[in-house]
Structure 1
Amino acid sequence: MNAKSFRGHWWLPGLSDDVAPGQLVVDESGRCALELVGSLDLCAGAALEHPGDPDAKAIRQERVRVIHGQVRGRPVTLLNCFAGDADGLSHRARSRIDIRVQDALIGAHVEHDEPAFSSAIVELENLTGWLGTEGQIDRQSNAEGESAALTRPDDLKAEIDGWTITARRILQPFHSEVSHAKASVSSHVAAYLVVRAPGPRPARDYHAIILEFMDLLTLASGRPCGQITLTLIHRENQVLRERDGSNYEIDTRVEAFGGRIHTAEPQSAGPHDWDFRFRCVDLSFAQIVPAWMRLRRRTADACNVFFGLQYARPTYTEARLLLVAIVADALSAGLGGTSPLKERGSYRNRLRELAAIPDQQAVHSIMADIEMWVRDLLQARNSLAHTGNDDAERDIFELEWVTSSLLTLVLMAQLGMPADVQRRAASTVLKPPWS
């Protein structure tokens, strides 16, 4: 996304008489910063994070839950704001203050954690490729020429805990471009999700469920999949007036911005069909989405670290290897209640039990000897955890790759992916490139 700036006036909730001009800047990664000309009393009662805690003075001065604003006639809410550089000791003496903002909502005034939004519309990287274009594109060629047709498929819908997640695809009409040398005709297919809550929810609840879906796409594609755009739909519609004096209502759409661990690059080349470990055609959308979200929540500790490695990989292989070794242990604990992992035995036994979960032909495609892998990972984990050095004979880059691939197969198996899908992934995109 391109950088954006919003100039307007800003105040604390309940203190609309104390207003400061300033500019909200959203950079290419979505990170937000408010540059105030003048200052606000960030210690005022409406801004306190812990209003009843007498020991929270330092926190009060650093973090403000909500700042409201007005930009070009549009209401703006800034959530979880942190004061930074300023040029005075008190707010009355300041002529400038910089504030870091976790989330910016352009289009509505809401309070901290207010259940204000009924649904959300989100674009995610690689969603279109994961859903597939089978049945959408019909291309025919003969001696007389070529023809192509696009068909919009039906929506795909899944439900979990009262939430409804709908995948929709849109088609761009064919258009032509003419240059001095040639003429071209093109179109495209794009997908987005509509996330609808069982009742009005705060913005952070949508962030949580969207992150879970991003992790699903990251697992499926083998590359980080980020959020491209997010629009929240406010629970209250806008009421507009027709020329004849009658009223009509439209959705109140709120643009949401905020820094993320991975910055989406929607214009970059995406994976081909064969680059995915699995796609939506391998298991129905209605099955895979709730199954994944239940699995993701059951194994939250393991998945938080595992997907963190996908979104922002540490520089050193030693750090990555130690983290995947930790993920293996956490995944064993998370699966203990409903998988073959009945007892919390030794780390060595927990690794063996993990390796027994996926299809065994798929496992043997990524590692020839399970016992050797167990021994090598145990030795490497102990060496790295205790001394910070690795004295194993095995190449730790290979060991990290193989362990990550096995963890992927475990998640795929627990997700319900058929054996042939696991085998296909293991024999193509998961096996070490030098094997």
Structure 2
Amino acid sequence: MGHFWLPNDADNRQPGVLTYTPGDGLHLSLIGGYSDAAWIPQDAGTRQLTSRTRRWPIIHGHAENEPITLLHCAEERGQMAGTATAMYRQDMRAQQALFGIRIPAEDSPSFSSIEVEVENLTGWASEPDMTIEIDMNVPRSWRVQTELAASRFADIQGVTAELGRRYTVPDFDPRRGSLSFTGEAVSYIQFQSSEPRSLAYWRPFVNVVQDLISLAIDAPCGIVRQVLTPSTEIFEGSEANARIHLHTNELVVPQPTEPGVDAAEAIFTLKNIDFAHVLPKWFAVRQQFLATCNMVIGAMYLSDPGYLNSQVVTAVTAAEAMHRAFAPDPPIPTAEFKRLKNGLVDSLPEERRQWLREKLAHNDHTLRQRLDDLVSRPDSEVIAALLPNPQAWAIAATKARNGIAHEGHSEADLLLMHAVVTVTQAVVKMNLFDQLGIPTDRLRYALATNRNLCQAVRLACQHWPTIEEGA
């Protein structure tokens, strides 16, 4: 509960209630509200009421003794007052909220760092810092020991990333029937710059970390906490807090108190690769294959991935987009392609030449060629363990996608389409892991232990088994 106002109209403060739910987002209910409608004089002494935009880039507030900034606000419903230019009440939705600061604009350079906690980050970090020691020579003798882990660092184009660990000292909780004690270790990644940056600059770092952990753990991981640090000038010159909490509407609703994914079931952890290598490499890989990552990792975040037809198109298109991002040489040398194209066009009647030019617009690989090449890029032992007959898979995936995209239906049955989706996603992920430099032995271990990859292996063996020599 508090008061809210537009940045250029601080004297017009409206009482209201701001609520936040990770899966539902930010809602502001005002007693009163804001309207940019105005009466415009017309001819003959009449007036015309302009329409309202119902959108505000920023709203400032003060609630629960905290300065607040709401970003990208839009009216959900409102009730006009009698003048038609004022509001009686108004409900809004905001995309983002900063608790602890008021900034003039999203692109204002106000923050020196952002810290993010993601589900399963602590398990992925694989810190051997908390152990239980049992003395077998002394009955009933054991102790819990914590060795504070040192931070690990990586450099991403001038931004320093720190993988740190925050500890809570064990606390004894006496009850009438027992005595319990608890302690806690929480991992976080903080990105820090030597010069202030805007919220718009820092926000993508959060999504990069979320995608990396979700890909490595092979499960959707929600964002537990996002905390910004104001620049020295902002902190000393305003009422800003030392730690600014950022709240957004999350696609994956975090459940930090639920059991985490066992690190042994992950595709890879920091036991298998160095933090200083994998984080900068992931930034580069994700940027190069952004469309592919959005389709494959994005599908993990959806509770309902949609109809099977759309899943087939998305999975195979992700593979196609990945091959395009590798920028392979064209199937025919460019000069030869132009010569052949011009010769064919010139051989046709004038009224048919434009039609052929459009048909031969691009010197591109076919989808089948792209899938064949994509499956040949990772380590051959890994692909052999995943896919006994790559050529048969490429043919089936091509027919399924082209049938849906070009003919409106696929001749494949539902079980085959499900296999195409599952195996194609696994092939794409194996290419991403190969680009990250994940060790081959770890990937082969994951193919034998990870639930989703095991399913891909089983479906590949069922639908595209190895062809025996001479068969």
TM over 0.5: yes
More helix by share: 2
Runs of 5+ consecutive residues of structure 1 not aligned to the other structure: 1-6, 45-56, 241-248
Q: 2:95 corresponds to which letter in structure 1?
A: Q
| Partner SS, residue 392 of structure 2 | helix
Aligned counterparts of 1:332 and 1:231: Cα–Cα separation in 2: 37
Q: For residue 387 of structure 1, report the CA deviation from its aligned partner.
A: 4.4
Residues 299-338 of structure 1: pairs in structure 2 closer than 5 A = 299-312=289-302, 313-336=304-327
TM-score under structure 1 length normalisation? 0.86
* TM-score normalized with structure 2 length: 0.80
Aligned equivalents of 1:412, 1:189: Cα separation in 2: 28
In the other structure, the counterpart of 2:374 is 354
Q: Secondary structure at the match of 1:187?
A: strand
Contact preservation (8 Å) 2:112, 2:230:
yes
| Contact 1:123/1:229, CA 8 A, preserved across alignment | yes
Q: Which runs of 5+ in 2 are unaligned?
A: 39-49, 334-362, 459-471
Give, in whole Å, the separation in 2 of the partners of 1:175 and 1:107.
29
Counterpart of 1:406?
427
- The 5 A counterparts of 1:2-17 are 7-17=1-11
Q: Does 1:370 align with 2:393?
A: no
Alpha carbons of structure 1 residues 284 and 42: separation in structure 2 relative to 1, 3 Å: farther
- Distance apart, 1:203 and its partner CA: 1.2
> What secondary structure does 2:400 align onto?
helix
Structure 1 residue 92: deviation in Å?
Answer: 3.5
1:281 is paired with a residue of what secondary structure?
Answer: coil
Which of 64, 78, 91 pairs up with 1:98?
91
Moved more, 97-106 or 163-172: 163-172
For 1:364 and 1:227, locate their aligned partners in 2 and report how far apart those are by CA, in whole Å: 36
Cα distance in 1 for residues equivalent to 2:155 and 2:242: 24
Farther off after superposition, 249-258 or 213-222: 249-258
Q: Decide whether aligned partners of structure 1 residues 426 and 95 sit closer, same or farther in structure 2, where only a CA change above 3 A counts.
A: same
The letter of the residue matching 1:279 is T
Choose the corresponding residue for 2:28, options 31, 34, 52: 34
Q: Could you tell me how far 1:285 is from its partner in structure 2?
A: 0.4
Q: Is the contact between residue 222 and residue 276 of structure 1 (CA under 8 Å) also seen in structure 2?
A: yes
- Aligned match for 2:454, one of 413, 427, 431: 431
Q: How does 1:161-172 map to 2 (within 5 A)?
A: 161-172=157-168
Cα distance, 1:141 vs structure 2: 3.2
User: Equivalent residue for 1:279?
Assistant: 269
Task: Supply the distance in 2 between the matched residues of 1:66 and 1:403 (Cα, whole angstroms).
Answer: 43
Q: How many residues align?
A: 405
Question: How far off its partner does 1:380 sit?
Answer: 0.8
Cα distance in 2 between the residues matched to 1:317 and 1:134? 42
The superposition leaves residues 209-242 of structure 1 with CA deviations (integer Å, 9 ceiling, x where unpaired) of 11011111011000111210111111136459xx
Distance change in 2, residues 1:27/1:365 (3 Å): same
Cα distance, 1:431–1:320 mapped onto 2, change above 3 Å: same
Q: Distance in 1 between matches of 2:285 and 2:328?
A: 12
Q: Match of 1:108? A: 101
Task: Report the structure number with the largest CA radius of gyration.
Answer: 2
The offset of 1:434, in angstroms, is 7.8
Q: Give distance in 2, aligned partners of 1:408 and 1:177.
A: 46
Query: Secondary structure, in 3 states, of the residue corresponding to 1:308?
Result: helix
Give SS of 1:421's match.
Answer: helix
Structure 2: distance between partners of 1:337 and 1:164: 33
- Following the alignment from structure 2 to structure 1, what is the Cα–Cα distance between the partners of residues 389 and 373? 14
Q: Which amino acid aligns with 2:292?
A: A
Aligned residue identity for 2:155: E
AA aligned opposite 2:59: I
> Does the CA-based 8 Å contact 2:154-2:280 persist in structure 1?
yes
Matching residue of 1:420: 441
Distance 2:176 2:145 in 1: 27
Q: Aligned residue for 1:195?
A: 191
User: Does residue 260 of structure 2 align to residue 270 of structure 1?
Assistant: yes
- 1:3 maps to none
- Corresponding residue SS for 1:392: coil
Say whether the 8 Å CA contact 1:124–1:214 is kept in structure 2.
yes
Aligned mates of 1:378, 1:295 — CA distance in 2: 25
Rounded to whole Å, the distance in 1 between the matches of 2:30 and 2:278 is 46
Q: Residue deviations 1:42-67, cap 9 Å, x none?
A: 469xxxxxxxxxxxx97x70321111
SS in 1 for 2:250: coil
Task: Name the counterpart of 2:77.
Answer: 85
Per-residue deviation, 1:321: 2.0
CA distance in 2 between counterparts of 1:219 and 1:43 reads 48
Q: Which amino acid aligns with 2:202?
A: Y
Aligned residues of 2:386 and 2:457 also touching (Cα < 8 A) = no
How far residue 28 of structure 1 moved from its aligned partner, in angstroms, is: 4.1
- Residue 137 of structure 1 aligns with an amino acid whose one-letter code is T
How large is the Cα RMSD of the aligned pairs? 2.5
